[in-house]
Amino acid sequence: MSPPLLRVRDLEKHFVLARRRIFDAPEVLRALDGVSFELAAGETLGVVGESGCGKTTMARLVLRLLEPTRGEIVLDGTDMLDCSKSELRRLRREMQIVFQDPLSSLNPRMTVGVSVTEPMRFHDIGTRTERVERAVELLEVVGMGPEVLERYPHEFSGGQCQRISIARALTLQPRLVVLDEPVSALDVSIRAQILKLLLDLQERFSLTYLFISHDLSVVKRFCRRTAVLYLGKLVELCESERLYREPLHPYTRALIDAIPSLDPTARSRGSLRGLEGDVPSAVNPPRGCRFHTRCPHRMAVCSEREPPLVDVGGGHRVACFLNQ
Ligand SMILES: Nc1ncnc2c1ncn2[C@@H]1O[C@H](COP(=O)(O)OP(=O)(O)O)[C@@H](O)[C@H]1O
Ligand SMILES: [Mg+2]
């Protein structure tokens, strides 16, 4: 088997928060707390979990937009945390991100043309004319005409802005694209079009996707494998089809139960039935299994020790004492 395109090991990000009072010890927020996974070239891995569980932090770490506290990120055999500046610059070209809110990635004061050519300018690629030609080519690929170059982001709908952001992400011919809730801010009717576009682009340009979403129904259709994140920890990871058919972690089960039933116009997520309380704070996460405070099946051991993520067969990994 070929080595994975991306390998993440024990990745941690602890944010040191401002002290409330001068003599207080600084508080540490454990946004991501030891996450490991691999991503094969051409694959799509979904990452799901409630708001605040660390998905965006993980995306930003993988792209090195944030410095990790600890861990290893290896892209195509090169350790991104221990490489020369020039290597890092090269690796950065291989990875791009598409954000949830397309307006936040497109500068409102720049024309679409300037925004889309900006990554190429930054990496000193081509002449001005060549950059514009490439931008026009990619805008066409995402279904937008050359006339949009002179216009500003606010003149476009959310779906159109997301198409432009996707074109921009592709200008450097990346191999890995991190999609951080790419359709969550869009109308339901537009979501399917953007997802279809992403699938077409994946095939056309042999892209590898890390697809982040809080919407499990989208991930189920889009991703070959799915990872479930809870309070900065991976609690389950396996092939999507199997995860939805036989989820093993009580948290995954609650997330799947909360998928709105067959009503395609349902906008809101259902509440997490069967779970007690809210997600605890990442500043003082529960001891033992982080999920035990809300788990309907908790046992004595769950508040004492942390369940490791173990393979229960066929690459199905789960961190729960019920399965160990
Ligand atoms: N720059 C930051 N400083 C302090 N805390 C942060 C920062 N960025 C994110 N967090 C916290 O980290 C946790 C994870 O956030 P995030 O990765 O945005 O979650 P998600 O994308 O899953 O909603 C949250 O508790 C959030 O408040
Ligand atoms: Mg997020």
Q: How far is the CA of 180 from the centre of ligand 2 (A)?
A: 7
Q: What angle do CA 5, 7, 12 make, to 5 degrees?
A: 145
Pick the atom of ligand 1 nearest to 29's CA: 5
Q: Is the pTM of this model over 0.85?
A: yes
Return the domain boundaries, the chain.
Answer: 6-223, 238-258+286-324
Residue nearest to atom 27 of ligand 1 (CA): 52
Ligand at shortest distance from the CA of 50: 1
State in Å: Cα 255 to ligand 2 middle. Answer: 17
Of all protein residues, whose CA lies closest to atom 10 belonging to ligand 1?
31
Ligand 1, atom 6: closest residue by C-alpha:
15
Contact present, 293 and 276 (Cβ < 8 Å):
yes
Considering only CA atoms, which of 26, 31, 104, 38 is closest in space to residue 66? 31
For domain 6-223, give the fold.
Answer: Rossmann fold (3.40.50)
Specify whether the CB–CB gap between 111 and 155 falls below 8 A. Answer: no
C-alpha 57 to ligand 1 mean position (Å): 6
Encoded amino acid at 93, one letter: R
DSSP 297: T
Which protein residues touch ligand 1 with a CB less than 6 Å away? 15, 29, 31, 49, 51-57, 282
Give distance in angstroms: CA of 41 to centre of ligand 1. Answer: 28
With b for 16 or more beta-carbon neighbours within 10 A and e for fewer, the 94-128 pattern comes to bbbbbbbebbebbeeeebbbbbbbbbbeeeebeee
User: Can you name the residues that pair with 212 across neighbouring β-strands?
Assistant: 47, 180
Q: pLDDT 10s per residue in the chain (324 long)? A: 678 999 999 999 999 998 778 788 889 999 999 999 999 999 999 999 999 999 999 999 999 999 999 999 999 999 999 999 999 999 999 999 999 987 777 999 999 999 999 999 999 999 999 999 999 999 999 999 999 999 999 999 999 999 999 999 999 999 999 999 999 999 988 999 999 999 999 999 999 999 999 888 899 989 999 999 999 999 999 999 999 999 999 999 999 988 765 544 444 444 566 677 788 999 999 999 999 999 999 999 999 999 999 999 999 999 999 988
Please compute, for residue 250, the number of CA atoms within 13 A of its CA located in the half-sphere on the CB side.
19
Residue 60 CA to ligand 2 center (angstroms) comes to 10
